[in-house]
Amino acid sequence: MPARRLVAPRFPVKSLDSQPNLDHDVGMPRSPLVNFWNTLPVGFTVLAPMEDVTDTVFRRLIGLWGAPDVFMSEFINSTELVHSKRRFAKQHAYLDSKELADLQRPLVAQIWGNEPEDYRQAIPRLLEAGFVGIDINMGCPAVKVVRRGSCAGLIDHPAQAGELIQAAQEACAVAPVSVKTRLGVKEKKTHEWAGFLLSRNLAALTIHGRIAAQMSEGEADWDEIASVVRLRDELGSTTRIIGNGDLRSREDLARRQKQSGVDGLMVGRGIFYDPLLFRTDGRRFEELPPAEKVKMMTLHLREQQRVWEGHKGYDLVKSFYKIYTRGWEGGEELRDRLYQTRSYTEATEILEQWLL
């Protein structure tokens, strides 16, 4: 994909005391919005939306180390973005100027909620910020969210889901709308649910090969994902089908694409095992010497501090330390020391000393 020149966020912020300034402008014109999904070759890759993971810092780092064809944001609460003074939705939608400058791939905002009018208000703001597509979260299995009829809870409420899709499509105009979902809530209803979604003229549909009740347990059912591809073809739909679940290596990507016939593959937790998973030169994270992994971790720590210090707690970055310290002699000991730190400065000093 050619580089996309995007503008910086312009969300109206009443108070900047607890979050980054979302009103700055780095002066980069944004390309006209198009349905980029149709331009991607079969076998394209997507970095999955993940809460407290795929923020502007992590996306930029993965982009520098080996970018997928498409990036997605964290989960953005549409109601909170337009109505609430809470900071989390604005943080999840934040695009750092360095990410905007380095971005070489389409960036999609994933939103959730069950109020169509909030979609109509939130989506134009997200597109103006620099996102080039909208994905609706109909797959998060969190019990409290499902009980409220949001995310995976929409699987059992197709009429409400249809209203949300329509609102998103109206708000997006020519920008593409996609959906990420599961096979069911407490039991599989793949054919019925996927058939409904395929009737909604979506640009793309991601199927996670589990029901919501499984959370992340058990093996993803790629035969069911394949059945959605066949259903799409039978219906004559042009929706691109993306498979998701248990993709941890390049071999997994190739095997599951061949098995299911999906157009694209979405990697979630697999990126924790190989941050270089999307590279095309064959280089693997596990083959890097420990010093290279520690340098990558140091860069992650410094970028996290640059973007989020004073806005997010330091402890959030600790969840990433395992990525860089897994599987090499001395890594576990270094990780234990980092877990005991209480500040960016303290952790940086430990890493710098290790690299001497």
Q: What pLDDT digit, counting tens, does each position of 170-222 carry?
A: 999 999 999 999 999 999 999 999 999 999 999 999 999 999 999 999 999 99
pLDDT for the residue numbered 61: 97
pLDDT for the residue numbered 32: 52
Quick one: pLDDT band at residue 87, thresholds 50, 70, 90?
confident
The whole-angstrom separation of Cα 94 and Cα 307 is 10
CA dihedral angle for residue 153, residue 158, residue 163, residue 168, rounded to 10 degrees: 70
Phi, psi of 199 (to 5 degrees): -85, -5
**Residue (of 189, 134, 186, 125) closest to 158 by Cα position:** 189
- Six token digits for residue 340: 């005991």
What's the whole-number mean pLDDT along residues 32-54?
93
What's the whole-number mean pLDDT along residues 32-40?
86
Cβ(298)–Cβ(355) under 8 Å?
yes
Asked whether residue 84 carries a pLDDT value surpassing 70, the answer given is: yes
pLDDT for the residue numbered 350: 98
More confident residue, 19 or 237: 237
Q: How far is CA 317 from CA 57, 91, 304, 306, 343, in A?
A: 11, 15, 7, 12, 10
Phi, psi of 267 (to 5 degrees): -105, 125
Asked whether residue 160 carries a pLDDT value surpassing 70, the answer given is: yes
Concerning whether 140 is annotated as a catalytic residue, the answer is yes
pLDDT for the residue numbered 344: 98
Q: What is the pLDDT of residues 107-137, one digit of tens each?
A: 999 999 999 999 999 999 999 999 999 999 9
Q: Which amino acid belongs to residue 28? A: M
Q: If DSSP codes are grouped into helix, strand and coil, which group holds residue 70?
A: strand
pLDDT for the residue numbered 1: 34
Cβ(288)–Cβ(331) under 8 Å?
no
Q: Which residues pair with 312 in a beta bridge?
A: 309
Q: Using the 8-state DSSP alphabet, how is residue 283 labeled? A: -
pLDDT for the residue numbered 100: 87
Asked whether residue 285 carries a pLDDT value surpassing 70, the answer given is: yes
User: Tokens 């979609």, residue?
Assistant: 119
More confident residue, 154 or 34: 154
Q: Which residues pair with 136 in a beta bridge?
A: 111, 179
Q: What's the whole-number average pLDDT of the chain?
A: 90
Q: What is the pLDDT of residues 311-349, one digit of tens each?
A: 999 999 999 999 999 999 999 999 999 999 999 999 999
Cα 291 to the center of its chain, rounded Å:
28
More confident residue, 1 or 89: 89
Q: Which amino acid belongs to residue 163? A: E
**Residue (of 86, 81, 89) closest to 171 by Cα position:** 81
pTM, 2 dp: 0.90
Asked whether residue 30 carries a pLDDT value surpassing 50, the answer given is: no
Percent of the chain past pLDDT 90, that is, above it, reads 87
Q: State how beta strands 204-208 and 240-244 pair.
A: parallel
Strand order in the sheet with 44-47: 44-47, 264-267, 240-244, 204-208, 177-182, 133-138, 107-112, 71-77
Q: Using the 8-state DSSP alphabet, how is residue 243 labeled? A: E
Burial 83-108 (b: 16+ CB within 10 A, else e): eeeebbbbbbbbbbbbbbeebebbbb
Of 2-11, 74-83, 119-128, the one with minimum mean pLDDT is 2-11
pLDDT for the residue numbered 236: 97
Angle between helices 190-198 and 158-172 (to 10 degrees): 30
Asked whether residue 262 carries a pLDDT value surpassing 60, the answer given is: yes
User: Tokens 């059992």, residue?
Assistant: 156
pLDDT for the residue numbered 33: 67
Residue 29, sorted as left (phi over 0), alpha (psi -120 to 50) or beta, turns out to be beta
Q: How far is CA 206 from CA 177, 226, 237, 241, in A?
A: 12, 12, 14, 6
Tell me how crowded residue 309 is: count the other CB atoms within 10 A of its CB: 13
pLDDT for the residue numbered 22: 35
Selecting among 109, 140, 202, 296, the annotated active-site residue is 140
Q: Using the 8-state DSSP alphabet, how is residue 329 labeled? A: T
